Amino acid sequence: MIRQLDDSAINRIAAGEVIERPASAVKELVENAIDAGATRITVEIADGGKTLIRVTDDGCGMTAEDLPLALSRHATSKIDGSDLLNIHTFGFRGEALPSLGAVGRLTITSRAAGSDAAQIRVAGGKMDPVKPGALRAGTVVELRDLFYATPARLKFMRTDRAEAQAIGDVIKRLAMAEPSVGFTLRDVSGGGEGRVTFRADPLSGDLFDALHGRLASVLGREFAENALKIDATREGLRLYGYAALPTYSRGAAVAQFLFVNTRPVKDKMLTGALRAAYFDFLSRDRHPAAALFIDCDPTLVDVNVHPAKSEVRFRDPGLARGLIVSSLRHALAEAGHRASSTVAGATLGAMRPEQAGGQTGGQGAPHVYQMDRPSMGARATAYSAQRPDYAPVPPYQPPQQSSGFAEMASAFSGQVIDEPFTPPADQEQPPEALPLGAARGQVHENYIIAQTADGMVIVDQHAAHERLVYEKLKKQMGENGVAAQALLIPEIVELSDNDCARLLAVADELAKFGLGIEAFGGNAVAVRETPAILGEVNAEAMVKDILDELDDQGESQLVQARLEAILSRVACHGSIRSGRRMRGEEMNALLREMEATPHSGQCNHGRPTYVELKLSDIERLFGRT
């Protein structure tokens, strides 16, 4: 027997699509405030948003006549309904406020310019009459006892801490999208003024300056210091934002933020493109960090896919994906040998002065040595003994031997190279002025110590040369193509209709990497060629792995990954081995090649190839500041 549901049930069911948890309510209310032109937005929550969510803004406000209409389903001021593709605002469905009023106790106080303040209340879908309110400007939306009208949903809420963290994540995403708007998040659990858990003041100026400042306050100063500026345009799509260096990677995909027309989205295609851009620089257990924005004509993207509006569909998804991959790869190549500053910070953090008893990090207090001031004669004797082995000489000429430390010239833990570096005739600046400086020695037969203009550099010779060889091999493969090995007997793989069609759709792309696939009638494909460098492969297993990747990510990089894994292995065996002593000119040649080769700041697995320490940091370690 078919029966019509009443309005109250309809509203509660519809509310479940839009309001999944307190963070969803905060997202809808803050987006409404941004659409209203607010420049400062304050969000107050209690008990993870379960008992109170209050959003205050200084936007345009609403009149007393508009308040009842704002609580009606599918009533909005943002679109007229004639064109659902041409959307320029965050909201447009007209569902957020009615949904909140259906599952909680909602109070709206608002004042528009030239009108008196008004207030309206709705609880469990039952609306009270409009009455006068007290407010100078803008709007205050107060939501209490969320999901009290749907107790079943309330049971599935997580802990107060988890819900508060989800609300903080929502605010931070919106803060990144709108640098010109100020945001304050305050936890008022237990009453009183509470405590501010997040604050971002409004920023002005150039787009990239404001965005860089906002990202520094939201994601941290380290991200801002190690991020590359991205700005590219292609066929009506503009990509801008910041992407971090590969050496500033994360253990999970928690620092990836994507926006389409300033709307925070979680799109599988876009995250897959981001992963593809860093594909050759990070191991599988590391993830890039980035905040990327795509701006385009609203008619080129459909945001009306899901009530939560977190998913989008591009008219030409390949164009958006290609723009992300090419722009990021170009920026990473331009970064050259640069490595993240956090590597140096971690190195300095690992260095600790020796504590009492010769133990680093011991519990006992270090000894304090009290000495009388030495006499002039004693100091003169000490200075004479400390005279360096080499007297000062003009640049690039062999140093002259002097009489200091002659009895101490025995073996040290580091192999110091006596041969000086002679610069090329066309090189005017001294090697110390170059980015990676001049080699001064080699320690433990694996680490090159170089001196720069304002510090020192420690280079892992094996990891650095491995990356250089790998880049050369990749360049050769790109220029000469991938050699394919024809199978004597083609391998036939039976697939489903859908899988067969999807595999044949990417056959041309797979052919570029030496994997030749053809239709074999029915639901079968014939594998006729495989990449020669891979040797003997299980074609059926490879085909099915490719299909799994297509299912999960919408694209497959399996063949490319296997090819580049082979190249990486070849590069590893063909590079300078640890334990080999290098001459001065060899070390300097390696440094110069690193400076000229893109991506040389990290090895094939995303680890840094060198660490740069500033002289001021080194002096701080020894208490010289």
Residue 438's domain is classified under what CATH number?
Answer: 3.30.1370.100
Q: Are residues 457 and 535 in the same domain?
A: yes
Residue 39 has pLDDT above 90, yes or no: yes
Compute the mean pLDDT over every residue in the chain, rounded to the nearest whole number.
77
Question: Can you tell me which residue has the tokens 């590969």?
Answer: 246
Residue 31's domain is classified under what CATH number?
Answer: 3.30.565.10
8 Å CB contact between 57 and 43: no
Complete DSSP assignment for 410-432: S--SEE---SPP---TT--S-GG
d(CA 157, CA 140): 25
For CA atoms 557, 561, 563, 564, the dihedral sign is positive
Alpha-helical runs (H) found in 259-313: 268-277
Q: Are residues 308 and 185 in the same domain?
A: no
pLDDT tens per residue, range 314-341? 888 888 888 998 899 888 888 766 665 5
Q: Are residues 149 and 45 in the same domain?
A: yes
Q: Are residues 194 and 240 in the same domain?
A: no
Residues in CB range of 362: below 8 A, 6 or more apart: 355, 356
Q: How sure is the predictor about 362, in pLDDT bands with cuts at 50, 70 and 90?
A: very low
Q: Name the residue among 136, 77, 61, 139 with its Cα closest to residue 107.
A: 139
CA quadruple 96, 217, 286, 208: dihedral, nearest 10: 90
Residue 388 falls within a domain, yes or no? no
Residue 621 falls within a domain, yes or no? yes
Residue 398 falls within a domain, yes or no? no
Residues in CB range of 171: below 8 A, 6 or more apart: 26, 30, 43, 183, 185, 198
Residue 53 has pLDDT above 90, yes or no: yes
Residue 367 has pLDDT above 70, yes or no: no
Q: Which pLDDT does position 570 carry in this prediction?
A: 60
Residue 458 has pLDDT above 50, yes or no: yes
Question: Can you tell me which residue has the tokens 């044949």?
Answer: 504
Complete DSSP assignment for 359-400: -BT-SSPPP----PPPPHHHHHHHHHHT--SB----TTSPPP
Q: Which of 198-212, 496-510, 540-554, 580-594 has the highest mean pLDDT?
A: 198-212
Q: Name the residue among 178, 179, 188 with its Cα closest to residue 142.
A: 188
* Burial annotation 572-587 (CB, 10 A radius, 16+ → b, else e): beebbeeeeebebebb
The 3-state secondary structure of 191-258 reads: CCCCEEEEEECCCCCCHHHHHHHHHHHHHCHHHHHCEEEEEEEECCEEEEEEEECCCCCECCCCCEEE
d(CA 281, CA 275): 10
The CA distances from residue 284 to 43, 279, 281, 287, 325, in Å, are: 38, 9, 10, 8, 17
d(CA 444, CA 127): 78
Q: Which residue has the higher pLDDT, 191 or 574?
A: 191
Residue 273's domain is classified under what CATH number?
Answer: 3.30.230.10
8 Å CB contact between 615 and 345: no
Q: Provide the domain count of the chain.
A: 3
Q: Name residue 58's amino acid.
A: D
Q: Are residues 578 and 482 in the same domain?
A: yes
pLDDT tens per residue, range 83-113? 556 566 665 656 778 888 888 899 999 999 8
Sheet strands side by side (includes 290-295): 227-234, 237-244, 290-295, 256-260, 263-265
Q: Are residues 458 and 477 in the same domain?
A: yes
Whether pTM > 0.75 for this model: the answer is: no
The 3-state secondary structure of 39-76 reads: CEEEEEEEHHHCCEEEEEECCCCCCCCHHHHHCCCCCC
Q: Are residues 140 and 187 in the same domain?
A: yes
Q: Are residues 112 and 146 in the same domain?
A: yes
Residue 373 falls within a domain, yes or no? no
Residue 599 falls within a domain, yes or no? yes
Integer distance in angstroms from the first to the last C-alpha of the chain?
Answer: 85
Least confident of 198-212, 222-236, 535-549: 535-549
Q: Are residues 13 and 104 in the same domain?
A: yes
Query: To which H or E segment does residue 185 belong?
Result: strand 182-187
Dihedrals φ, ψ of 293, to 5°? -125, 130
Q: Which residue has the higher pLDDT, 574 or 463?
A: 463
The CA distances from residue 501 to 81, 355, 505, 545, in Å, are: 38, 68, 6, 15
For CA atoms 153, 156, 160, 164, the dihedral sign is negative
Residue 2 falls within a domain, yes or no? no
Q: Which pLDDT does position 579 carry in this prediction?
A: 73
d(CA 260, CA 112): 30
d(CA 106, CA 125): 9
The CA distances from residue 594 to 349, 353, 614, in Å, are: 26, 32, 19
Residue 439 has pLDDT above 70, yes or no: yes
Query: To which H or E segment does residue 31 belong?
Result: helix 22-35
Residue 606 falls within a domain, yes or no? yes
CA quadruple 517, 520, 524, 525: dihedral, nearest 10: -10
465 lies in which domain range? 339-349+414-625
Give the count of beta carbons closer than 10 Å to the beta carbon of residue 170: 23
Q: Are residues 196 and 252 in the same domain?
A: no
CA of residue 589 relative to chain centroid, distance: 33
Least confident of 202-206, 349-353, 416-420, 592-596: 416-420
Tokens of 328: 């990021």
Q: State which of 185, 200, 215 marks the end of a domain.
A: 200
8 Å CB contact between 51 and 105: no
Q: Are residues 102 and 191 in the same domain?
A: yes
Residue 41 falls within a domain, yes or no? yes
Name the percent of the chain lying above pLDDT 70: 73
Tokens of 557: 């990089």
Q: Which pLDDT does position 197 carry in this prediction?
A: 93
Q: State which of 137, 165, 200 marks the end of a domain.
A: 200
Q: State which of 174, 200, 226 marks the end of a domain.
A: 200
Residues in CB range of 450: below 8 A, 6 or more apart: 436, 437, 438, 439, 440, 456, 457, 458, 459, 587, 591
Q: Are residues 530 and 570 in the same domain?
A: yes
8 Å CB contact between 447 and 441: no
Helix axes 160-177, 207-219, angle to 10 degrees: 170
Question: Can you tell me which residue has the tokens 């006499």?
Answer: 375
